[in-house]
Amino acid sequence: MAMDAVVNTRCGTLRGTEADGVRTFLGVPFAAPPTGANRLLPPQPVVPWTGVRDATDYGDSPPQVAPPVSAGFDWDTGLSGGDCLNLNVWTPSAGAAAGPGALFALGLFLVGKPISEGIGEVSVMVAIKLLIHPAVTWVLGAYVFDVRLDWLIVLVMLAALPTGASCFVLAQQQNIYIRRTSSVTLFSTLVALLTIGSSHAVRKRAWSSTSTAATQARSK
């Protein structure tokens, strides 16, 4: 049985549905409608809304000529319209957010013994993964490959994630650095609370600056 799923976004609150461990949000606008003054222009920022926006039905499809009957399509021209810059989102339910906690518990389990041995190497590996990796990702994306801002933010946040248990599995298979790898899993999960939080703050500031610039551009 489907239940309501409500989330807050930078443009307003959305209400979708949740069923079988999946949240569904339909017809979510990613740009302002390309009508009126926005026609034939690049996509413009979404205008924030108040209240709760319904996201339980598909949005408009781009206006286009229906294919001939011989094509065999069940075409409904009533589903097309000008407000067609929208997308549909399917995402795991909130229960999936337990992943970081499970990774932390896994680190505790894997350590099992005092972790003073190799603490210097563990610190270096954690620093490389959670500080240098995101920094290098940002520099390459922003100054070398000129990656779009929203994509770059996602890449940096992925780089700021802690070391996964797959590293421990590999170390166990090779029978080397087993205890230190488990320690890295634990400590990187702890430190990732700071690096991911910092990345999230940068993301919010970047989006805020982008929205402010777009608002000022429209007012001129």
Q: Could you give the percent of the chain with pLDDT greater than 90?
A: 13
Residues 85 and 106 in one domain: no
Residues 109 and 212 in one domain: yes
| pLDDT one-digit tens code per residue, 32-85 | 988 888 888 888 999 899 999 999 988 888 777 766 666 555 555 556 777 888
Residues 207 and 109 in one domain: yes
* Domain end among 37, 65, 92: 92
Copy the structure tokens of residue 30.
């990613």
Q: Which domain holds residue 187?
A: 99-219
In this structure, how many other beta carbons lie within 10 angstroms of the beta carbon of residue 29? 20
Residues 71 and 156 in one domain: no
Q: What share of the chain is helix, strand, coil (3-state, %, to 5)?
A: 55, 15, 30
216 or 57, which is more confident: 57
Copy the structure tokens of residue 183.
């320690």
Q: Which whole number is the average pLDDT over 181-206?
A: 73
Tally of domains within the chain: 2
Residue 26 confidence (pLDDT)? 92
| pLDDT one-digit tens code per residue, 95-150 | 555 555 555 555 555 555 455 557 788 888 888 888 899 889 989 998 999 888 87
Residues 188 and 104 in one domain: yes
CA distance 217 to 5: 34
Contacts of 70 (CB under 8 A, 6+ apart): none
Mean pLDDT of the chain: 76
Q: Which whole number is the average pLDDT over 85-96?
A: 79
Residues 76 and 151 in one domain: no
Residues 104 and 77 in one domain: no
Residues 167 and 212 in one domain: yes
Whether pTM exceeds 0.85: no
Burial 186-216 (b: 16+ CB within 10 A, else e): bbbbebbeebbeebeeebeeebeeeeeeeee
* Domain end among 92, 124, 143: 92
- Which helix (H) or strand (E) element contains residue 24? strand 22-29
CA distance 186 to 164: 10
Residues 211 and 109 in one domain: yes
Residues 84 and 106 in one domain: no
Residues 60 and 113 in one domain: no
CA distance 47 to 6: 19
Residues 62 and 31 in one domain: yes
Give the pairing type, strands 13-19 and 52-54.
parallel
* Domain end among 92, 121, 146: 92
Contacts of 174 (CB under 8 A, 6+ apart): none
